Structure 1
Amino acid sequence: MGARVGRMFRNFNLENRAHREVGRAKPVPAPRHQGPGKPVGGTEDVPEKIRQKDESLASLLKSVYVESTEPVPPTPLPAAAERAEVQRRPLKAALPGDPYGICDITDVPKGKLSIVEALTALNNHKREPRTWTAEKVAQEYSLDLAETKALVQFFIPFDVKMIPPNSAGAKQIKAFIRHRGDTQG
């Protein structure tokens, strides 16, 4: 019933409304671009003075001499020589097994740490700060002392803190579970 009434209002005076829309003035379209044709400011507008050859400028141009050479590329060092320059040290700590495919690493450059070594050193310092001082960590892992002090001071391994619940809150949770169990069963 509602669709029939809606159709009546939609189709009411439809023909007159269509004639009125067709008879309405159309909007004027924007002018079209000229496309490739005569360029604006063509060669006719160029003054004759610009077209003439200036002999003084031509003679100055002839006196310019440019000599170009390609730079000689540096000779690449062999891979063994590059390794000899960087001192390396064996790993102090590694992951057990091969979980992520990164256990192929057997040594690292001096002054650098692997992720596992960094976490181990930070954890040792956190557990025993009197034994594992920044100086001992720097000596153990061949690190710069200033960088090691900053590492120990600003990077802290994850710390999980367990907050014990209040006794009143625990009773409320147990009461809620007991009440919920009664309504379901």
Structure 2
Amino acid sequence: MGARVVRMFRNFNLENRIEREISKEKPRSAPRHQLTQPTSTGQNDANTFSAEVSGAVHQKNDPLLLNLKSVFVESKDKAAGPVKSRKDLSADGGAKTRPIKFTLPNDSQGLANVQNIPHGKLTITEALKALGSHQNQPQTWTSQKISEEYSLNLKETNSLLEFFVPFQIQIIPPQTAKVKQLKGS
């Protein structure tokens, strides 16, 4: 019911209101800046202005050129050459790789298509094998031996052995003998 009343007031005398708005004088545009304002001669001044600007842009500026020549940027990077993508490394054989040391019998991680591993990298199965060997025999499998065996950085191997413990199970005994237990029904 309310929508009908609103529609009646909105459409009341619509044609007259439209006619008044159309017959009003149009608003004037904002004044232009002096440099972009066309003069009485017309288009010739605009062309000369654009020619002057383009000439200034393409003109040699000797002081700026000397400043540019005095700037020297030296970049030092740890990498010896340009960065290569994985495709480039595998195609030209430039990257040092090593064969896989250990795989699971049924290939549960889907590593069947991996033949060579870059130096400093491990597969999941190799990492688990190395960590398990170190945990079972820490005197035999030291961080030095693991880093040599798998071509890893010694610092990274020490961090791996210190912070990643895969098979550590801790059973926390109850604090008191008087622990409430659920009664079986």
Question: Normalization by structure 2: what TM-score?
Answer: 0.54
Q: Does the C-alpha gap of structure 1 residues 107 and 80 become closer, same or farther in structure 2, counting only changes over 3 Å?
A: closer
Residue 46 (structure 1) aligned to one of 21, 29, 32: 32
Question: CA 1:47–1:84 in structure 2 vs 1: closer, same or farther (change >3 Å)?
Answer: closer
**Match for residue 62 of structure 1 among 42, 45, 55:** 55
Number of the residue aligned with 1:153? 162
1:86 Cα deviation (Å)? Answer: 0.9
Change in 2 beyond 3 A, CA 1:147/1:162: same
Residue 118 in 1 paired to residue 140 in 2? no
Gaps in structure 1 of 5+ consecutive residues:
1-17, 67-75, 181-185
Tell me the distance in 1 between the aligned counterparts of 2:89 and 2:6: 84
**2:138 aligned residue:** 129
In the alignment, what sits opposite 1:99? 108
Given residue 112 of structure 2, which amino acid in structure 1 is its aligned partner?
C
Letter aligned with residue 59 of structure 1: E
Quick check: which has more Rg, 1 or 2?
1
Counterpart in 1 of 2:150?
141
Letter in 2 for 1:116: T
Greater percentage in helix? 1
Distance 1:87 1:61 in 2: 54
Q: 2:99 aligns with which of 85, 90, 101?
A: 90
In the alignment, the residues of structure 1 paired with residue 129 and residue 141 of structure 2 have an alpha-carbon distance, to the nearest angstrom, of: 11
Contact 1:112/1:143 (<8 A) preserved: yes
Percent of aligned pairs with the same residue? 30
The number of residue pairs the alignment matches comes to 136
Give the structure-1-normalised TM-score: 0.54
Letter matched to residue 58 of structure 1: A
Instruction: Please list every run of 5 or more consecutive structure 2 residues that lacks an aligned counterpart in the other structure.
Output: 11-20, 40-44, 60-84
- Tell me, yes or no, if the aligned pair for 1:138 and 1:148 is still in contact at 8 Å: yes
Give the counterpart letter for 1:159 in structure 2: Q
Q: Identify if the C-alpha distance between structure 1 residues 60 and 158 changes in structure 2 by more than 3 Å, giving closer, same or farther.
A: same
Secondary structure of the structure 1 residue equivalent to 2:158: helix
C-alpha distance in 2, partners of 1:92/1:122?
Answer: 14
